Amino acid sequence: MIAIIDYGSGNLKSIRNGFHRIDAEVLVTQDKNELKKADALILPGVGAFGTAMDNLRKYEDIIHQHISDDKPFLGVCLGLQVLFSESEESPEVKGLDVFPGKVVRFPETLRKDGLKIPHMGWNNLNIRQKSPLLEGIGQDYMYFVHSYYVQPDDDEIITATVDYGVEVPAMVSQDNVFATQFHPEKSGVVGLEILKNFIKRV
Protein backbone atom coordinates (compact mmCIF):
# COMPACT_ATOMS: atom_id res chain seq x y z
CA MET A 1 0.00 0.00 0.00
CA ILE A 2 1.16 3.50 -0.90
CA ALA A 3 -0.08 6.20 1.46
CA ILE A 4 -0.18 9.96 1.03
CA ILE A 5 0.11 11.74 4.37
CA ASP A 6 -2.91 14.02 4.80
CA TYR A 7 -1.55 16.57 7.28
CA GLY A 8 -3.50 19.62 6.20
CA SER A 9 -0.80 21.24 4.05
CA GLY A 10 -0.76 19.06 0.98
CA ASN A 11 -1.77 19.38 -2.65
CA LEU A 12 -3.49 16.07 -2.07
CA LYS A 13 -5.87 15.98 -5.01
CA SER A 14 -3.15 16.84 -7.50
CA ILE A 15 -0.64 14.23 -6.33
CA ARG A 16 -3.33 11.57 -5.91
CA ASN A 17 -4.58 12.21 -9.45
CA GLY A 18 -1.02 11.96 -10.73
CA PHE A 19 -0.73 8.44 -9.37
CA HIS A 20 -4.20 7.54 -10.65
CA ARG A 21 -3.10 8.58 -14.15
CA ILE A 22 -0.43 5.88 -14.04
CA ASP A 23 -2.95 3.35 -12.66
CA ALA A 24 -1.39 3.28 -9.19
CA GLU A 25 -3.60 2.84 -6.15
CA VAL A 26 -2.84 5.30 -3.36
CA LEU A 27 -4.50 5.94 -0.02
CA VAL A 28 -4.87 9.51 1.25
CA THR A 29 -5.08 9.27 5.03
CA GLN A 30 -4.57 10.89 8.41
CA ASP A 31 -4.80 7.50 10.14
CA LYS A 32 -1.55 6.76 11.94
CA ASN A 33 -2.12 3.00 11.87
CA GLU A 34 -2.58 3.05 8.10
CA LEU A 35 0.56 5.16 7.70
CA LYS A 36 2.55 2.74 9.86
CA LYS A 37 1.47 -0.17 7.66
CA ALA A 38 2.26 1.59 4.38
CA ASP A 39 4.86 0.11 2.03
CA ALA A 40 5.65 3.63 0.80
CA LEU A 41 4.88 7.12 2.06
CA ILE A 42 4.37 10.30 0.06
CA LEU A 43 4.64 13.73 1.66
CA PRO A 44 3.22 16.48 -0.57
CA GLY A 45 3.00 20.09 0.51
CA VAL A 46 2.11 23.66 -0.29
CA GLY A 47 2.21 26.67 2.01
CA ALA A 48 4.46 27.77 4.84
CA PHE A 49 7.23 25.73 6.47
CA GLY A 50 6.15 26.55 10.04
CA THR A 51 2.50 25.66 9.53
CA ALA A 52 3.43 22.45 7.78
CA MET A 53 5.72 21.39 10.63
CA ASP A 54 3.05 22.20 13.23
CA ASN A 55 0.71 19.86 11.39
CA LEU A 56 3.39 17.20 10.88
CA ARG A 57 4.53 16.83 14.49
CA LYS A 58 2.09 14.02 15.21
CA TYR A 59 3.46 12.08 12.23
CA GLU A 60 7.14 12.81 12.83
CA ASP A 61 7.96 9.52 14.56
CA ILE A 62 6.10 7.55 11.90
CA ILE A 63 8.06 9.26 9.12
CA HIS A 64 11.42 8.64 10.80
CA GLN A 65 10.56 5.02 11.54
CA HIS A 66 9.40 4.44 7.96
CA ILE A 67 12.69 5.82 6.63
CA SER A 68 14.69 3.84 9.20
CA ASP A 69 12.88 0.68 8.05
CA ASP A 70 14.27 1.35 4.54
CA LYS A 71 10.85 1.76 2.97
CA PRO A 72 10.44 4.12 -0.02
CA PHE A 73 9.60 7.73 0.80
CA LEU A 74 8.81 10.59 -1.59
CA GLY A 75 8.60 14.28 -0.67
CA VAL A 76 7.21 16.84 -3.13
CA CYS A 77 7.76 20.63 -3.08
CA LEU A 78 7.23 21.72 0.56
CA GLY A 79 7.42 18.00 1.30
CA LEU A 80 11.07 18.23 0.25
CA GLN A 81 11.80 21.36 2.28
CA VAL A 82 10.47 20.01 5.60
CA LEU A 83 12.92 17.10 5.34
CA PHE A 84 15.68 19.60 6.16
CA SER A 85 16.79 20.97 9.52
CA GLU A 86 15.45 24.52 9.35
CA SER A 87 14.06 27.26 7.12
CA GLU A 88 14.48 31.01 6.87
CA GLU A 89 10.72 31.16 6.41
CA SER A 90 10.14 30.01 10.01
CA PRO A 91 13.45 30.51 11.87
CA GLU A 92 12.30 29.13 15.22
CA VAL A 93 10.78 25.96 13.79
CA LYS A 94 12.75 22.72 13.59
CA GLY A 95 12.29 20.65 10.44
CA LEU A 96 12.21 16.86 10.23
CA ASP A 97 16.02 16.92 9.96
CA VAL A 98 16.19 13.86 7.72
CA PHE A 99 18.76 15.80 5.73
CA PRO A 100 21.08 18.28 7.51
CA GLY A 101 20.82 21.69 5.87
CA LYS A 102 18.59 24.71 5.59
CA VAL A 103 15.93 26.22 3.38
CA VAL A 104 16.62 29.75 2.13
CA ARG A 105 14.64 32.39 0.25
CA PHE A 106 15.57 33.38 -3.27
CA PRO A 107 17.68 36.54 -3.10
CA GLU A 108 15.84 39.76 -3.96
CA THR A 109 18.69 40.59 -6.37
CA LEU A 110 17.11 38.13 -8.83
CA ARG A 111 14.46 40.74 -9.59
CA LYS A 112 17.15 42.99 -11.10
CA ASP A 113 17.82 40.22 -13.60
CA GLY A 114 14.14 40.03 -14.54
CA LEU A 115 13.48 36.87 -12.52
CA LYS A 116 10.29 36.76 -10.51
CA ILE A 117 9.83 35.43 -6.99
CA PRO A 118 8.25 32.95 -6.55
CA HIS A 119 9.95 30.81 -9.17
CA MET A 120 6.87 29.69 -11.04
CA GLY A 121 6.77 27.74 -14.27
CA TRP A 122 8.85 25.34 -16.31
CA ASN A 123 12.59 24.85 -15.96
CA ASN A 124 14.89 22.17 -17.33
CA LEU A 125 16.79 19.77 -15.13
CA ASN A 126 20.55 19.50 -14.94
CA ILE A 127 21.23 15.90 -13.95
CA ARG A 128 24.09 15.63 -11.46
CA GLN A 129 24.08 11.92 -10.81
CA LYS A 130 22.08 8.78 -11.39
CA SER A 131 18.95 8.13 -9.36
CA PRO A 132 16.35 5.36 -9.71
CA LEU A 133 13.68 8.06 -10.06
CA LEU A 134 15.52 9.67 -12.97
CA GLU A 135 15.69 6.51 -15.07
CA GLY A 136 14.82 7.54 -18.62
CA ILE A 137 14.82 11.25 -17.67
CA GLY A 138 17.21 13.76 -19.23
CA GLN A 139 17.41 17.54 -19.37
CA ASP A 140 13.64 17.64 -19.30
CA TYR A 141 11.42 20.49 -18.18
CA MET A 142 9.59 20.25 -14.86
CA TYR A 143 7.02 22.52 -13.23
CA PHE A 144 8.03 24.60 -10.20
CA VAL A 145 6.20 26.89 -7.76
CA HIS A 146 8.34 28.06 -4.81
CA SER A 147 9.96 31.06 -3.14
CA TYR A 148 12.48 29.06 -1.08
CA TYR A 149 15.01 26.39 -1.98
CA VAL A 150 17.17 23.94 -0.04
CA GLN A 151 20.87 24.14 0.74
CA PRO A 152 21.96 20.66 1.88
CA ASP A 153 25.05 20.35 4.08
CA ASP A 154 26.01 17.36 1.92
CA ASP A 155 26.02 18.18 -1.81
CA GLU A 156 26.24 14.47 -2.57
CA ILE A 157 22.50 14.05 -1.98
CA ILE A 158 21.67 16.45 -4.84
CA THR A 159 20.71 14.43 -7.91
CA ALA A 160 19.44 17.26 -10.13
CA THR A 161 19.44 21.04 -10.18
CA VAL A 162 17.90 23.91 -12.14
CA ASP A 163 19.33 27.33 -12.87
CA TYR A 164 17.17 30.21 -11.66
CA GLY A 165 19.71 32.93 -11.08
CA VAL A 166 21.18 30.60 -8.48
CA GLU A 167 21.72 26.86 -8.64
CA VAL A 168 18.62 25.30 -7.13
CA PRO A 169 18.54 21.67 -5.97
CA ALA A 170 15.58 20.26 -7.89
CA MET A 171 15.85 16.72 -6.56
CA VAL A 172 17.62 15.07 -3.66
CA SER A 173 17.90 11.42 -2.77
CA GLN A 174 19.64 9.14 -0.35
CA ASP A 175 19.01 5.40 -0.04
CA ASN A 176 15.21 4.99 0.15
CA VAL A 177 14.39 8.71 0.47
CA PHE A 178 13.59 10.78 -2.62
CA ALA A 179 12.32 14.35 -2.83
CA THR A 180 11.60 16.83 -5.59
CA GLN A 181 11.28 20.61 -5.47
CA PHE A 182 9.23 20.45 -8.67
CA HIS A 183 5.78 18.92 -9.00
CA PRO A 184 6.12 15.68 -10.98
CA GLU A 185 2.33 15.29 -11.03
CA LYS A 186 2.06 18.65 -12.86
CA SER A 187 5.04 18.08 -15.17
CA GLY A 188 3.36 16.26 -18.02
CA VAL A 189 4.32 12.85 -19.34
CA VAL A 190 7.92 13.12 -18.13
CA GLY A 191 6.81 13.98 -14.60
CA LEU A 192 4.56 10.94 -14.55
CA GLU A 193 7.57 8.81 -15.51
CA ILE A 194 9.18 9.90 -12.23
CA LEU A 195 6.10 8.69 -10.34
CA LYS A 196 6.28 5.41 -12.28
CA ASN A 197 9.93 5.05 -11.31
CA PHE A 198 8.97 5.59 -7.66
CA ILE A 199 6.33 2.86 -7.93
CA LYS A 200 9.04 0.47 -9.13
CA ARG A 201 10.80 0.99 -5.79
CA VAL A 202 7.76 -0.14 -3.81
60 annotated active-site: no
In the residue annotation, 183 being an active-site residue is answered as yes
Active-site hit among 66, 77, 86, 119: 77
Closest Cα partner for 96 from 141, 49, 129? 49
Give the strands of the sheet with 84-87, arranged side by side: 84-87, 99-105, 148-152
Catalytic residue among 66, 119, 146, 183: 183
Q: Is 77 a catalytic residue?
A: yes
**Pick the catalytic residue: 86, 89, 185, 193?**
185
Asked if 87 contacts 118 with a C-beta cutoff of 8 angstroms, the reply is no
Neighbours of 27 (CB within 10 A): 16
Distance CA 132, CA 136 (A): 9
So which residues are the catalytic ones? Answer: 77, 183, 185
